[in-house]
Each structure stands twice: as C-alpha cells, then as structure tokens.
Amino acid sequence: MKIYTKNGDAGKTTLMNGISVSKSDDRIELLGTIDELSSHIGLAKVIADSSLSERLSKIQKELMQIMAGIADPRNPDHRFTKEETLALEEEIDHLEDSFPRAKEFVLYGGCEQSARLDVARAVARRAERRFRKVSQNYGADSKAMQYINRLSDYLYVAARYADYKSSAEPDEEFRQEVVKNVMKSIGK
C-alpha cells in the first residue's frame, strides 16, 4: 500500500468516523497541533534521562488517545478519565517539591532540555486554545481538555526542573527589566 492516496488533493480529509471535512476544519487544526505537540515532546524525549523519557512516552500515548477522541468523538473507548489528569498533577507536585522553583518571569533556553520542553509547552497552550474552539463548535471531551491544560503546566515545571538540574542561572538583569516594564505599563 502506498503512503499517498491523493484523496487530500482537493483539500478534504476524512475523520476516523468516516466524515469528510475540509483540511482547514477546526478539528483538523486541533489534530495537527496535537501531532506537532507530540513531535516536540519526542524531540525533548531523545535527550531526556530515563525517568523523564518514560513519562514523555506515556504522555505521547495519551495524546494519541486524545487525537482518536477528536477524530471519532462518539467512540467511548477514546474518552479520558480524571485519572490521567490527576497523574499529571501528582507529577507536577513531585517536581515542584524537588527544587526551589523561581516564581518570576523566565528567559527560556537555560539548557537544551528546558528549551525543548518550553517549545512543547508553547504548542500545548496553542492546543488548549484550539481545543476550546472545537468544543464550542462541535463539542469535545472536557476531561481531555483538562489534561491538555495540565500538560502545559507539567511541561513548564519540567523545563524549570531541567534548568535547575543543569544549574542554568536565570538572566536576572533581563528579568528585572521585564518586571520594571510590566509595572510601568500598569502604572505602578
């Protein structure tokens, strides 16, 4: 079987449930964003230690389940439960307890691992926005939406932990300038 079908040449594609939609459909945009997110997670995974690599692989599998649920929303096998989100929350709490995380603006790119995780986090935030649009227009799995939100939090904390482990010093001068500009813009 060939990789190309030529079915998409006219700008259409088919969801798992057999519905033909435009390639610019909000659901296709969301699926593409989650696919991009999983790719960035894979990029972070290749340089991760074994513990983080295992966690990122698990996340990629969970993202596949979310994608299946978007492409075939009536199939109950693709529904998320609160357990996946609770597991991420536990991991976030565990990481936050492992180091003194700074609570200020961060200049991304303290180390290669954190830079890769931050790119994945930014894509996760975009997926959240696209998920909301799909939810408004077509309905969506609310627990999967929660998971994507928590995933971006997890990726942020994992990136800060990677910075901490690499002993990357935050750019204090830059941070102070950002704080000063923000305070100035709000009139304080």
Q: Which domains are delineated in the chain?
A: 7-185 (1.20.1200.10)
Q: Is the pLDDT of residue 11 over 90?
A: no
Stretch among 112-116, 141-145, 171-175 having the lowest mean pLDDT: 171-175
Query: CA 157, CA 98: separation in Å to the nearest integer?
Result: 11
The beta-strand segments (E) located in 5-106 are 12-14, 20-22
Residue 182: the pLDDT is: 66
Q: Hey, CA dihedral for 49, 55, 56, 57, is it positive or negative?
A: positive
β-partners of residue 20 are: 14
Query: CA 148, CA 131: separation in Å to the nearest integer?
Result: 9
**Would you place residue 46 in the very low, low, confident or very high pLDDT band (cuts 50, 70, 90)?**
very high
Stretch among 1-5, 16-20, 71-75, 104-108 having the lowest mean pLDDT: 1-5
161 vs 19, which has greater pLDDT? 161
Query: CA 74, CA 76: separation in Å to the nearest integer?
Result: 6
Secondary structure (3-state) at 21: strand
Q: Is the pLDDT of residue 50 over 60?
A: yes
Q: What values do phi and psi take at 13, rounded to 5?
A: -145, 170
Residue 18: the pLDDT is: 74
Residue 93: the pLDDT is: 96
Say if CB 67 and CB 144 are below 8 A apart: no
Q: Is the pLDDT of residue 15 over 70?
A: yes
pTM for this prediction = 0.83
Say if CB 110 and CB 163 are below 8 A apart: yes
Q: Is the pLDDT of residue 184 over 80?
A: no
User: In whole numbers, what is the pLDDT of the chain averaged over residues?
Assistant: 88
CA 136-118-135 angle, to 5 degrees, is 5
